[in-house]
Structure 1
Amino acid sequence: TLDPRLGSSSAVEERVLRLTSEGARSFEFESNDGGGVRCGWRELWDQLRQLEGGAPLADEAWFQNHYRWIAWKLACQHRSLQHIVGSRGFSAEAVLKQLRHRYDRELVRTELPVLRRICEGDETPATHMVLCIAAADAASSSLELTDGWYSVWAKCDAPLTKQLVRGRLRVGLKLRLCGSSRIGDASDHGRPWQLEHSAAAPRLQLNANGTRRAQWHCKLGRCRTNAFRVGVDSLQEGGGQAPVLEVRVVRVFGPLVFLPREEGGNAWLTLPHFEDLQRREEEAQRARHEHADLKRDSRADGRKGAKDDGGEDDGDDDDEGDPQRAVDLSAARLTWKLLLLDAGGGVAG
């Protein structure tokens, strides 16, 4: 067991109020009797190895990582729910108890958390999960996200970057994610406590359309459902794919022919209009061929006359150009337009 003088958080109240996820790495608990006894991750690491069964499957890096996240979690609970967790909720003894629990679950029973599975390549980063913002770096548009066990830095897209700059993405906020993607080499896998973690080298790409705020009491980690529903009116340009849309088809327009144009102003044509355009283009193409044949015959007659007169053909091709400009119909494709009614009440085209 721990030193009985360790435990209560009353002596470290001010430090708890200022404790961040980064500061939790080196946080040390203090005694309440003024004896100056301190207990950090090194002391608890020795305590864990002295318990029954020891910790032969763990190393210091694994232990220090979990010490950080448990200490930060308990500090947050102590700040917000002290009337529920009590004075013993944030203590070295509570941290050691949860460390032992995590050792049994993760290393003995191999019940792996979602971010470890993603880092090791056993889970797709597009999975539906709830993560908490542990740190934010507006300069690099990156967030450090944690599932309570491990963390990973993620890059925000343009719409999320605007939210980050405005202060709407803050530390402690829980996010519901679906459809995120991996950044960098897909073969760069490994145990999360052995990989490089920094805002300058994010590993996940977040998409605004697949990111929503989660309620404060939502459980962190992988969710049971494969995705979550979003409203049509909440979709943002440049925000990536939406997880799930629930809509009703109110009206169908089509079949239509979509004709992209390089100069802009893409055209949507009905089939009769497109067939008429094809017919006129065929007639124009025949006219261009006849015009080209006529010019070729005229040049041939001119060269023959110049040769008979002893002159020289200067080869000057006085091409006046085609009287009709060609229209590229090869990129045309058949499509339909739908008028959709969002299940939430919005209408979108």
Structure 2
Amino acid sequence: MTALGRAWRDAQELTAEVDGDGEVRALAHPSLVGVPEVGDTVLLNTTAWAQRLGTGGYALVVAVPDRLPPDPSGPGHLVKARYTPLQVSVQGVDEQDTEHHRTIADAEDLAGMPVVVADLHSALPAALIGVLATDPDLRVAYVMTDGGALVAGFSRTLSSLASSLAGVVTVGQAFGGDLEAVTLHTGLLAAKHVLGADVAIVSQGPGNLGTGTPWGFSGVAAGEACNAVTVLGGEPVGALRISDADPRPRHRGVSHHSLTAFGRVALGGVTLIAPRGLGSELGSQVEEDLAGQPERNRVVWMDVDGLEEALGLSPVPLSTMGRSFPEERAYFLAAAAAGRYAALQVPLPDDEG
């Protein structure tokens, strides 16, 4: 290893010299492999780096063989990334010997909590901005599913948004959040009853997978997330993936990802939020794309006054598929509009009617 780079949450960038390839950009998760130092020999997995992936095109440090970290001693008995060479034990909020077990065991529902569900991790900051620009006093939790990155520490966005979030819950095989949960269901209950969230945002971690086929994309899980919210008595709010900049026809207007996940998988229904102010051409296309939604799905056109300005002040760079906020204005405006709608649906305390 020849140099250290940026560090955030549970991630450390570094540069390593690889025979035949020269210098390689790599990433270590210190909670898994320890803290690498200049001069260390590191064992690398170069799969993502070799493919030059747009998200996460790093070589990943598997081990620092000459200076291994101490063996984990707990607490926690949840094994995530199970039966992979880097499986890790964490303490789950739903485990029997945790302080929150009784809370999760007794929690029956979300008490009407609105939950913004998005296909892509890049929607998170815009949805959060939409909530807080509408009501800055609301507590917002992020629930990260395992369709993309498994390690929450991989996300620089989460590191930068930490002060604006009530907390991060990692569910399924994902790990590294402030709270860990076995399922999306217990993760949502933890967001509400442990973190005290008024609103939750659910998406996969960074690095989604798509194949260009109708069902072969990791964002299908957004529909299943809506089902979980419905079962638990929350209100699912769909953040639509909208674009007039994506060169792929299947993602122009309302992406087929949103139409499939929300229109065909979310069987309990979901409120879909379309932002006003898209312009006549794109607005007409979005209206046409949403005309075929099943009756169980309600479409709400949301006013976006002030949201564009709020997005322009984002504490993190807004980027999706390599395109910035000005290039993908409709996408980020749609996520922010979903956040605004969710903020307006937060139930009033019992003593306020």
TM-score (norm 1): 0.28
Q: Which has the higher contact order (CA 8 A, sep 6+)?
A: 2
TM-score (norm 2): 0.27
Q: Which has the larger radius of gyration?
A: 1
Higher-helix-fraction structure: 1
